[in-house]
Amino acid sequence: MSEDFAELFFTDVIVKKIEIREISPCTADPERIKFLAQADRPLEDVLPILYLAIPNAKYSEKLGALSYMHQQHLITIFANGRITMTYVKDRDEANRLVEEARRLINRAFIYLKTHGKPSREMIQAKKELTPVKIYELLPKTNCKKCGEQGCFAFATKLLNGEKRLQECILLDSKEHIACKFQIEKMVSPIRLK
Ligand code: SF4
């Protein structure tokens, strides 16, 4: 099902609009902007799904907030529908990022509608994920083909979202492919289509 068609099909549950409300200079670089936007519905129900789908996401149920790095932007999504983004080039980039976020959030709403809420166990397992657990499944050759000094550094950066799993090309070999799938499942137990 194409994304646009899916949105039409689930029109009663999706976010139709995210409005940019406040723009200010970015703290890290005043040449860039940060902004606050507001979705047209609360997002509390999809935060756990987004947490399980975005490899480097951090999630606090207590604060009702999920944050993650996307390219160079720190994106935070709040249960009440507020969304903030930092290190944005200009208004055009802000509009593009907002639309990308809207589509991602809607895929999470569609997941919720079709699969229900994820279990507490799934959320807890991701919260307990550490670089050591990922390292154990890597080839452990320290070959540096990923651009890192070794497998442990790679595991740490993978969990922070600074590296992608595809950058360890050894994981594509017959010997390691099962470990690759296992790591994928650990960092993104939910895949949003
Ligand atoms: S490419 Fe893979 S095996 Fe080589 S150092 Fe990086 S993580 Fe380790």
Provide DSSP, 110-162: HHHHHH-PPPHHHHHHHHT--HHHHHTTS------TTSSSSHHHHHHHHHHTS
What is the fold of 3-122? Answer: TATA-Binding Protein (3.30.310)
Position 10 scores a pLDDT of: 72
Region of poorest pLDDT, from 14-23, 155-164, 166-175:
155-164
Mean pLDDT of 115-122: 95
pLDDT band at 1 (very low <50, low <70, confident <90, very high): low
Give the nearest ligand 1 atom to 169 CA: 1
Determine the atom of ligand 1 nearest the C-alpha atom of 149.
5
11-15, 91-95, 156-160: lowest mean pLDDT where?
11-15
Query: Residue 145: CB within 6 Å of ligand 1?
Result: yes
Residue to mutate (ligand 1; options 134, 148, 163; most atoms within 8 A of CB): 148
Ligand 1 and 143: CB distance under 6 A? yes
pLDDT band at 78 (very low <50, low <70, confident <90, very high): very high
Q: Which residues are CB-neighbours of 181 under 8 A, at least 6 positions away?
A: none
**Domain span(s) for CATH 1.10.15.40 in the chain:** 129-187
Average pLDDT over residues 174-178: 97
Task: Indicate if ligand 1 lies below 6 Å from the C-beta of 50.
Answer: no
Closest-lying ligand 1 atom to the alpha carbon of residue 154? 7
Tens of pLDDT, residues 22-50:
999 999 899 999 999 999 999 999 999 99
pLDDT given for residue 3 in this prediction: 66
Q: CATH for 129-187, among 3.40.250.10, 1.10.15.40, 1.20.140.10, 1.10.1760.20? A: 1.10.15.40
Q: Which pLDDT score, from 0 to 100, does residue 2 have?
A: 64
Alpha-helix runs per DSSP H in the chain: 3-9, 47-53, 91-115, 120-127, 131-135, 151-160, 177-187
**Residue 119 Cβ < 6 Å to ligand 1:** no
- What residue ranges of the chain are covered by domains with CATH 3.30.310.10? 3-122
pLDDT above 90 covers a percentage of the chain that reads 86
Contact present, 58 and 67 (Cβ < 8 Å): yes
Place of tokens 């997941």: 111
